[in-house]
Chains A and B, each alone.
Chain A
């Protein structure tokens, strides 16, 4: 296990890609520093619900939580990518919005809010984006059923 550190956050290697584990309270501050490191484009922002897979590989300093925000940054100057992973707990499913730093995250954060129910503090227009406004629940959560209709086979016992 490497012990690389970038901006006081654990930097790990995942299949040759750089992954930075940022604590939630330093999320925006770290992104701000990363912009100065020429990571000027946020190509992707998404989340994962680790409800059914708690034992994933994480640096020792990071305590696993249910949700994880995954931000993919791109440096056009250095032609490198960096992935930022931040743990978000189920009890306090909210994180600061990166909108002021990367305006392009507007729709992505809305999508994460819509699909996972994680709220972004400071987002200008946090509404559902893909699901209907009055939809119940957040579909990409692992405890959200896929809505299968049970099939009854003819002749089977009940």
Chain B
């Protein structure tokens, strides 16, 4: 019977088990993946480590599944945990439950339509996804230096507002995961205010497709400045409230401090970016270190932690909301007038009014929306700082109107790899806090 079953399972292209293997099947290499690799130990050392540190015998440990349907996994992340009592010995994240082949889809959408696809990857910070895709496309087109000033500043405004809304969502979900349920309500409430602004500007609360190759889709609506100021004024005292509610609170600190620690060396080796990398004390922020848009004209601080634990990551995100508010205030002062998209007939559709008057305009409009615009052959990688870390877009074009290959380097996908290292030796109750502190968006992990 079992023979029959195994032939059925291994038919087709069965290529091995994704799940956490039991301890008896564990090779030194596998342990190395989980512990030693980032410390660059030799295999012999790791085997020794595995022997000394645990070897609890298979009958004393238990492998349990956490997720994919678990409220604290932020979607459909499944963790297989090997437990000895309350202690997590090993952990393996299993992903792919939300995989919808967005990179494959991206190959059949034109550069004009691509924004609608990438914006759905990291659905908590859609505007950053659109921004990086647009910047990559513009670089391939060779128009990245010609984007009108107003469009650039609008992109910065939206990107920073998006960072605020994303971090507010983190505040909410982190609070809920730890047990501060009132924080969940506050976080969602404040985020909603920002999303309302997005709705006014872009027409949609999420998945905007507003930042497009060549600029943005529309100009800012009347009264936008007051709306932004209102949000900034509303947020400042509420962030103070968060401090009272959580930062200084002993239970909150007890739950987060010293939990899910990762060292700087480990974070770099694992490719972790964003608040995870900064929590280890390394001030690495693409906005400052490899500036894009006009971030070099803006004054802001890069927030770093010192212990690399979950509390640092929480505190960094809270402080980053404040920094984003500071950036937004400067953007308000510097927002220039002028055009909000490039006047390049090949990329930008003609205005609606022109279509009634000019046959040329009608043809251009039709061509851009049916065929799209052709992008010269080449390949390019553009990266920006999303709320979760470095989001990159790699596009290879064969000279047609659709990308030959469109790959998004998703920060959550890489950051989730840090989970086994953060969880090792911790309590199973802390597992929730650790997942939460990574702030993964599963739409982006799985794409």
Contact = CB atoms under 8 A, between A and B. Distances in A.
A129 B96 contact: yes
Contacts of B37: 99-100, 103
Interface range for A: 35 or more
B409 interface: yes
Interface in A23-75: 40-44, 46, 48-49, 52-53, 56-57, 70, 72
A19 to B, nearest CB: 8
B381 A131 contact: no
Interface in A85-108: 99-100, 102-108
A124 B30 contact: yes
B394 A46 contact: yes
Contact of B390 (A43, A106, A124): A43
Contact of A72 (B27, B33, B394): B394
Contacts of A81: 290, 381, 383
B417 A83 contact: no
Contacts of A103: 33, 37-38, 269-270
Given A72-B394, A124-B29, A130-B446, A41 B404 contact: no
Interface string B401-430: 000110101000110110000000000000
Nearest to A119: B15
Contacts of B272: 104
Nearest to B14: A134
Given A72-B392, A103-B38, A104-B417, A133 B269 contact: no
B17 A44 contact: no
A156 to B, nearest CB: 21
Contacts of A127: 15-18
Contact of B377 (A57, A107, A130, A131): A57
A125 B31 CA distance: 11
Contacts of B392: 43-44, 72
B381 A128 contact: no
A107 B14 contact: no
B385 to A, nearest CB: 12
B409 A107 contact: no
A153 interface: no
Interface string B84-124: 00000000000110010101110010000000000000000
Nearest to B27: A124
B271 interface: yes
Interface string A139-158: 11000001000000000000
Contacts of A111: 413
Interface residues of B, number: 58
A106 B394 contact: no
Given A14-B380, A48-B405, A131 B99 contact: yes
Contacts of B273: 43
B378 interface: yes
B153 to A, nearest CB: 23
Contacts of A104: 269-272, 414, 417
A41 B18 CA distance: 26
Contacts of A72: 381, 392, 394, 409
A107 B379 CA distance: 23
B139 interface: yes
Nearest to A81: B381
Residue from the set A14, A19, A46, A140 with the largest chain B CB neighbour count within 10 Å: A46
B269 A15 contact: no
A70 B33 CA distance: 22
A146 B106 CA distance: 11
B218 interface: no
A106 B417 contact: yes
A132 B407 CA distance: 20
A46 B407 CA distance: 8
A65 to B, nearest CB: 15
A121 interface: no
A15 B342 CA distance: 20
A44 B95 contact: no
Given A14-B379, A108-B414, A44 B409 contact: yes
Contacts of B378: 14-15, 57
Nearest to A44: B409
For A108, A115, A124, A139, the residue with the greatest tally of chain B CB atoms inside 10 Å of its CB is A124
Contacts of A139: 101, 104
A9 interface: no
Contacts of A137: 13
A48 B404 CA distance: 9
Given A56-B398, A140-B405, 10 more contacts: A14-B380, A41-B268, A44-B407, A57-B377, A72-B381, A79-B290, A105-B271, A128-B96, A133-B17, A135-B12
23 contacts: A14-B380, A15-B380, A17-B380, A43-B271, A43-B392, A44-B392, A52-B398, A76-B284, A99-B33, A99-B37, A100-B37, A103-B33, A104-B271, A107-B417, A124-B30, A128-B15, A129-B18, A130-B96, A130-B446, A130-B447, A133-B17, A135-B13, A146-B104
Interface of B: 9, 11-18, 27, 29-30, 32-33, 37-38, 95-96, 99, 101, 103-105, 108, 139-140, 142, 268-273, 282, 284, 289-290, 377-381, 383, 390, 392, 394, 396, 398, 404-405, 407, 409, 413-414, 416-417, 446-447
